[in-house]
Amino acid sequence: MTDDATIFILDDDDAVRDSLTMLVESAGYKAEAFAACRAFLARPPLPPHACLLLDIHMPEMSGLQLQDEMARRGLKLPVIVMTGQADVPVAVRAMKAGARDFIEKPFSDEVILDSIRNALAPAATPSGDPAVAKRIAELTPREHDVMLQMVAGNPNKVTAYNLGISPRTVEIHRARVMEKMAARSLSELVRMVLAAGVDPAK
């Protein structure tokens, strides 16, 4: 049951907008697609039950700038950021600014629909979850360091250089972090760590 939720799609790629529109409509949602942030902002008042799929790289106004403008206007809408793999640091900034989730392109239909369902849920991201805090506390010091590098968006080679260890050792620690944190994806790990109040920039 979708409760007549509206999914706004903001991407400057015609093919992406068309495919996402077809996907969300096939899942029973209403869909409204926009090619530019200003066109979205010019829309009449938003419906009460909706979320926004937002490409982080948009012409004229970026996804981050749109988030700032929405905050200034008091537009409260769950945002799912769509980004390329190299843009994890930007996605982390978007989540700090209030985005509910980020998804790396290319993504599967199941991943995007699952993210939409979570975004539309009343309490999709509980803040300060004690179970998450416990998992973080159970990481070894090195695993904790690697987790911070992961959440900051640093690839294995950069992490290896920053921590003075080999890339292979980084891979092992990354796998252990994902297992201990019970995270199915990097975006889920980022979501949990930020909700726990851990800032990877510090």
* Residue 40, pLDDT score: 93
Predicted TM-score (pTM) of the model is 0.79
Query: What would the pLDDT profile of 89-120 be if each residue is shown by its tens digit?
Result: 888 888 888 888 888 888 889 989 998 998 88
Does the structural domain 130-195 have CATH classification 1.10.10.10? yes
Query: Where in the chain are the domains?
Result: 6-120, 130-195
Stretch 157-171: mean pLDDT:
94
- What CATH number does domain 6-120 carry, 3.30.360.10, 3.90.180.10, 1.10.260.40, 3.40.50.2300? 3.40.50.2300
Q: Does 58 have pLDDT greater than 90?
A: no
Q: Does 3 have pLDDT greater than 80?
A: no
Percent of the chain exceeding pLDDT 90 equals 51
Q: Does 61 have pLDDT greater than 80?
A: yes
Query: What would the pLDDT profile of 77-87 be if each residue is shown by its tens digit?
Result: 999 999 876 67
Residues in contact with 81: Cβ distance below 8 Å, sequence separation at least 6, in sequence order: 54, 56, 63, 91, 94, 95, 99, 101, 102, 103
Stretch 162-178: mean pLDDT:
95
Least confident of 36-45, 166-175, 187-196: 187-196
Q: Over the chain, what is the mean pLDDT?
A: 87
Stretch 145-156: mean pLDDT:
90
